[in-house]
A and B are shown apart, each in its own frame.
Chain A
Amino acid sequence: MKTPTKTRARTLLTPECEACPLFVNQLGIDLSNWDYLVALAGNPNTGKSTLFNRLTGLKQHVGNWPGKTVTRAEGGFEFNGKRYKLVDLPGTYSLLSASVEEEVARDFILFGHPDVVVIVVDATALERNLNLVLQVLEITDKVVVALNLMDEAKRKGIRVEHRRLARELGVPVVPIVARTGEGISYLMQAVEDVAAGRVPLRPRRVPLSPSLRQAVDKLAPRVQAIFPDVSAPRWVAIRLLDGDLSVEEAVRTGQLGALAPTSPRPALATPTPDDGHVHFPEGEALVQQAHELRRSLAADFRDRLVEALYAEASRITRAVVQAEGSRASSWEERIDRLVTHPVWGLPLMLLGLAVAFWITIVGANYPSELLARFLFTVEDMGVALFQRVGLPWWITGFFWQGVYRGLAWVVSVMLPPMAIFFPIFTILEDLGYLPRVAFNLDWLFKRVGAHGKQALTMTMGFGCNAAGVIATRIIESPRERLIAILTNNFVPCNGRWPTLIMLGTVFVAAAFPPGLSALIAAGSVVAAVVVGIVFTFLTSWLLSRTLLRGEASAFTLELPPYRRPDIKRILYTSLIDRTIFVLWRAVIMAAPAGGVIWILANIYVGGASLAQHIATFLDPFGRLLGLDGVILLAYIIAIPANEIVVPTMIMIYSGAGAMVEAESLAELRTLFVDQAGWTLLTAISLMLFAVLHNPCSTTILTIWKETRSLKWATVGALMPLSIAFLVTFLVARAWYLFF
């Protein structure tokens, strides 16, 4: 069945995929063919995404809301022969603040006309969650409340009488445990009943203060009269009084009526040719009346409205919840004391970081090797095939030793550590540990005018800077978010580890017995990380005093309760969302780079390859920075993918025609020290340059998409580069002065 309404709702959802940074292919499900549209709403940290994954499995698509940098996930499921499309709305505490997330959630509930809105509610913090439920109930009647985390509530001695709650709210309430799947079938049944209109719904309306009620009573009937199809005239009236811009606009242009579910007519208004704007006099008059009525209200009626919502939520909670000990359990408090301890907190954090690195580096070694062997076997087979067919050497070389080898290199170097690091990160996030890290470190970030949550986006940057830039969405205030975006690059990402590890093993760990080398390598990587972190703070401080002047504004940070992570969901989000996304960009970026490298190494002019010519040309400049021309060239070529810096350097030094890997560390050392003349200064400068230089092309692109500004993308690219030049130059000067 396909009514015009559904088509309209779908066009509203059409993914704007050039703006989807989280790349996931539709996994073989045709979402266009569905019977009911279900929206999933809820506070943050209520297990909303766990429920989403439980309902949809792998049948989901992650992207952005059109025109917004807010992640949107949608998926499908089938129940009793009906097909449902499920849209995951951003987690919000309220729909009133008009932050981007709240706007998206609100607009979808109002204009997207879902058949059912499922609100996921944390049974252990009912009062807070009911605030959102009451607000949604003002907009739509078709609500099912999923009372999640019932197991945790039971453990904490909190009993919720869900039947009483259902009576109080006037909509179905289903207790569930999303993590184990308990109660999900009842939830689906309730969704079906509401979607099919089989349940009588008597949603609770929040009692308003007398003056506000008077104003609403005057306005709501007019809304009803002008837009007879709008389901929530009272709510529209409240929003008009509150001065909600998007609702005002929808009223002014008559769009509000056009979007109503049962109205087949297009817009009520006629577009006037003079300015292209739509004018709808009745709507305009309604907005004017709202302005007039607003003046009769107390200046802080908005405060009163939120107070009324919470008072009602509090009343309902008292009626339906029996708590034996509503406080957090004591082990949670004990862990909180430990991780924020003045003595133990910081070492614990550093230890955690080191262990995560160690697991990643050591754990990735073997699979990396395996993968490389496999991929290079494929190359040998491909070369053999091309030769048998009789293709000229340069086609074989360009395709297999250039394009394919670049690709294979990036995949084998990058995929295993990513596939280990991202799940570790997500587990720490889901456990609730990372917000505590932000809490611990906020005082530092506050000093440089930044936000404590920057600690989390930085940690994410260790995996991939582009992913770190996207992760800055968790920072609400624009100024602090921009700082986090522009400085994320100073955290060395996965692609830069090989360089750092190589330097660590060739110049540092080589001096130690082999048993310790992995540990020493990890140690030197941590040293490089510290340099990067110092520069993160330095530039954050500089930015908040120059380009991004201002005081740290709204800071609120939720410390969610410690929860057992949902491993299946973690594997899904970290592998599919993050790893595949990063891998995909590597594929499209590294392949052309591989081709360019091959061409540069194989076109000879006057006895030397193009690469050697360019390297010679760049050499004086490189020397100035304590580096050399080859290193600079490798970094220029490697703008699309930092992974291929080392292979490219080896290629040019050894005069080979394609990227190669050294057979052993000793050989590498011979090549760099004896043949290329590297000194300790070269190693130090290279390490600094690797940490500080410009972000890769994907990260620059991501900065541009996230900020929607060419200016900030340019700053994000050139600021680190000039800092890298400056720092290496100064280090080299100092070095020559003393040695």
Chain B
Amino acid sequence: MSDVTGVLVVLGALAVLAAPGLLRLKEAYRLRQRETVEDALKVLIELGEQRPANMADILAGRLHLSRRAALRLIQLLSERGLLRVEDDHVRLTPLGRALGLHVVRAHRLWECYLSDDAAVPLKDVHRLAEKAEHHLSPHDVRRLEARMGYPRYDPHGDPIPREGDEEVDRPGTPLTAWPVGTPARIVHVEDEPESLFAQVLAEGLTPGTQVIVVERSPQGLHLQADGNDIWLATVVASHVHVAPVPQDLPQTTGNMTLAEVPEGMPVKVVGLSPEVRGLLRRRLLDLGFTRGAVVEPVLRSSFGRGDPTAYRVRGTLIALRREQAQHIFVEPVNQAHQEEHHENADENARAHTVNT
């Protein structure tokens, strides 16, 4: 009898000691489950209007689950009223859609924050945001959005849904389907799988970069971007989506960057690379590196071999590191003058023709 009591007491004590740990385990399990649910909603949102029948397989593949677990997940989602199963197809309920869009929004805004404010390398941004997206409340997301200055696109070029949006659209044509010789602007780079994404980044092809397809062959594409020749395998190129260069954006392809300008040669700013975002972009603009500003490299650091270099801009010497100067596109001042002359000449000629 007393033995039994002893065992019971020991067991009871163990249970009391283990209880907090068990509770924590349960909490962790709940959090993990919530993350899985939210990830599933994100997959469904990204699929958009497509409603493939083998949803369980897709989920299993994207979320690294077994097929059985994926089926259980769909069951769970429908129990929570987040999706409806309609004759083999699944469809998000308004609630599920709203929650999914919130997660997409949180993810993409967090990516903006990481890239713009925290200076995290672009290749790590997606991975970090995959975690953070589950910890942001709608209020947090709203504050984050305001803080980041209401960006429309994340660093990969994906559109950021607004609060109350019903859809996320993905603009752009795969680079593989873009006509040869037409200037294009990268609007989106698929961030999964990571290895391909890293390859694209390594070539300097980030959203906003302007490219021209020079040549196309079955193996790959020959591109020109910011004056560099780039070869991309077809499978890699299919992950890059492009759109026409908007009218009001300066064409940056073919222009040199401020970092390449020799000392003492005044140049004119054409525009800032879209890669310069957030605080740095605003600071450069405020310092006067705006379109049309005349800039002249006057002083190169002899110890850093021209890094940094001091530029005379709007009457003041401002030193920039090479990374910053590389993102400022410029053209020779003389050329600009000549163009103006040309324009004048053209106008004169036109006036002349009208007169005669």
Contact = CB atoms under 8 A, between A and B. Distances in A.
Partners in one complex: yes
Interface of A: 93-94, 96-99, 122, 124-128, 131, 242-243, 245, 248, 291, 294-295, 298-300, 302-303, 306-307, 310-311, 326-328, 333, 336-337, 340-342, 345-346, 439-444, 446, 452, 476-477, 479, 550-561
Given A342-B302, A555-B324, A556-B324, A243 B146 contact: yes
B118 A125 contact: no
B308 A442 contact: yes
A245 B147 CA distance: 7
B314 A303 contact: no
A126 B248 CA distance: 29
A439 B152 contact: no
Given A125-B316, A127-B314, A294-B150, A554 B292 contact: no
A441 B314 CA distance: 25
A446 B303 CA distance: 12
Nearest to A295: B162
A222 B41 CA distance: 39
Contacts of A340: 299, 301-302
Contact of A559 (B147, B288, B318): B318
B76 interface: no
A303 B304 contact: no
A310 B314 contact: yes
Contact of A302 (B121, B162, B282, B315): B282
B149 interface: yes
B290 A341 contact: no
Contact of B308 (A96, A298, A327, A557): A557
A479 B279 CA distance: 14
Contacts of B282: 96-98, 302, 306
Nearest to B293: A310
A342 B315 CA distance: 26
Nearest to A321: B315
B35 interface: no
Question: Shortest 7 CB-CB distances between A and B: which pairs?
Answer: A443-B304, A125-B315, A342-B302, A94-B286, A559-B317, A553-B119, A557-B319
Give the interface residue-count category, chain B.
35 or more
B295 to A, nearest CB: 13
Given A328-B298, A559-B310, 6 more contacts: A93-B286, A98-B282, A128-B314, A333-B298, A442-B319, A557-B318
Centre residue among B272, B281, B314 by max chain A CB count within 10 A = B314
B91 interface: no
A94 B121 CA distance: 28
A165 to B, nearest CB: 15
Given A96-B282, A439-B301, A556-B320, A310 B120 contact: no
B307 interface: yes
B168 to A, nearest CB: 15
B315 A556 contact: no
A345 B302 contact: yes
A328 B312 contact: yes
B285 interface: yes
Contacts of B180: none
B315 A440 contact: no
A513 to B, nearest CB: 37
A303 B301 contact: no
Nearest to A211: B248
Interface string B303-339: 1110110101011111111011000000000000000
B51 interface: no
Contact of A555 (B288, B305, B308, B315): B308
Contacts of A124: 315
Nearest to B322: A446
A186 B312 CA distance: 33
A97 B303 contact: no
Contacts of B324: 554-556
Interface string B116-149: 0011110000000000000000000001001101
B292 A311 contact: yes
A306 B286 contact: yes
A333 B307 CA distance: 19
24 contacts: A96-B282, A99-B279, A126-B315, A128-B315, A131-B288, A242-B149, A245-B146, A245-B147, A303-B291, A307-B292, A326-B315, A327-B312, A328-B298, A439-B310, A439-B319, A442-B319, A443-B307, A551-B121, A553-B119, A555-B320, A555-B324, A556-B284, A556-B319, A558-B319
B318 A556 contact: yes
Contacts of B305: 443
Contact of B301 (A96, A99, A126, A443): A443
Nearest to A551: B119
Chain A CB within 10 A, most for which of B118, B121, B303, B323: B303
Nearest to A249: B146
B283 interface: yes
A440 B303 contact: yes
Nearest to B145: A243
Contacts of A310: 288, 290, 293, 314
A533 to B, nearest CB: 15
Nearest to B308: A442
Given A299-B152, A311-B292, A554 B283 contact: yes
A346 B150 CA distance: 46
Contacts of A440: 301, 303
B277 to A, nearest CB: 11
Contacts of A94: 286
A669 to B, nearest CB: 42
B165 to A, nearest CB: 11
Nearest to A479: B119
Nearest to B306: A443
Contacts of B118: 550
A558 B303 contact: no
Contacts of B120: 550
B280 A446 contact: no
Nearest to B116: A553
A295 B279 CA distance: 21
B235 interface: no
Interface string B225-258: 0000000000000000000000011000000000
Contacts of A311: 290, 292
Contacts of B302: 340-342, 345
B149 A302 contact: yes
B14 to A, nearest CB: 36
B315 A127 contact: yes
Contacts of A299: 152-153
B7 to A, nearest CB: 46
Interface string B159-195: 0001000000000000000000000000000000000
B18 interface: no
A443 B286 contact: no
**Most A CB within 10 A of own CB, among B249, B280, B283:** B283
B122 to A, nearest CB: 11
Nearest to B305: A443
Contacts of B286: 93-94, 96-97, 131, 306
Nearest to A307: B290
Contacts of A131: 286, 288
Nearest to B148: A243
B59 to A, nearest CB: 33
Contacts of B150: 243, 291, 294
B287 interface: yes
B116 to A, nearest CB: 9
Nearest to A550: B119
Nearest to A476: B283
B316 A243 contact: no
B315 A554 contact: no
B42 to A, nearest CB: 23
Nearest to A122: B315
Given A96-B286, A303-B272, A340-B301, A553 B280 contact: yes
A341 B320 CA distance: 18
A342 B146 contact: no
Contacts of B149: 242-243, 302
Contact of A125 (B119, B248, B314): B314
B303 A345 contact: yes
